[in-house]
Amino acid sequence: MMPGPEITLRKTILPDLEFFFLFQLDKEANYLAAFTAKDPTDKTAYLQKYTQLVNDPAINMQTILVGEIIVGSISKFEMEGRAEITYWIDKPFWAKGIGTQALTLFLNNETTRPIFGRVAFDNTSSQKVLVHCGFIKIGTDKGFANARQAETEEFIYKLD
């Protein structure tokens, strides 16, 4: 397997949110993410929500870059008292090893453990990213997925 492109991470800044908003408008990407906003086209709601998150000291939100190009985001946040990881790669950059490389870099600096990742049951690419980075599947859950308008199974992964 060829190594992916050289990537870097940096703290997310407010102008990055414009890129992230556009990334999540892709219908296939939104479907695979599954657990998304009720209305991904509502830019005002998106920017309001993520502006608060960028400024929250409990959240470690990083922007993924290939060279100077913004290609995605990766974050650690708390949910129900547990550290969770989330990431999004812009569709033109899928299947290039960027997700795995970004998560590896992120985990070198974000030392909270255990940390959990959740992924829709059929999002095999995201599952592979977690496994490549040492996460182990520990269970399943079900929840309403806005992007699918249906209850959807998700796999839960954990890194100690």
Give the whole-angstrom CA distance, residue 23 versus residue 17. Answer: 10
Give the whole-angstrom CA distance, residue 60 versus residue 57. Answer: 7
Phi, psi of 135 (to 5 degrees): -75, 145
Domains of the chain by start residue, with CATH: 7-159 (3.40.630.30)
- The pLDDT assigned to 35 comes to 83
- Quick one: which of 68, 67, 87, 73 has its CA closest to 135? 87
- The pLDDT assigned to 1 comes to 46
- The pLDDT assigned to 108 comes to 97
Q: Which run of H or E residues covers position 19?
A: helix 16-23
Q: Is the peptide bond before 92 cis (omega within 30 degrees of 0)?
A: no
- The pLDDT assigned to 33 comes to 86
Give the whole-angstrom CA distance, residue 55 versus residue 100. Answer: 26
- The pLDDT assigned to 3 comes to 59
The amino acid at residue 70 is I
**Per-residue burial over 133-158, b = 16 or more CB atoms within 10 Å of its CB, e = otherwise:** bebeeeeeeeeebbbbeeebebbbbb
- pLDDT tens digits in sequence order for the chain, 160 residues long: 455 568 999 999 999 999 999 999 998 998 888 888 889 899 999 999 999 999 999 999 999 999 999 999 999 999 999 999 999 999 999 999 999 999 999 999 999 999 999 999 999 999 999 999 999 999 999 999 888 989 999 999 999 9
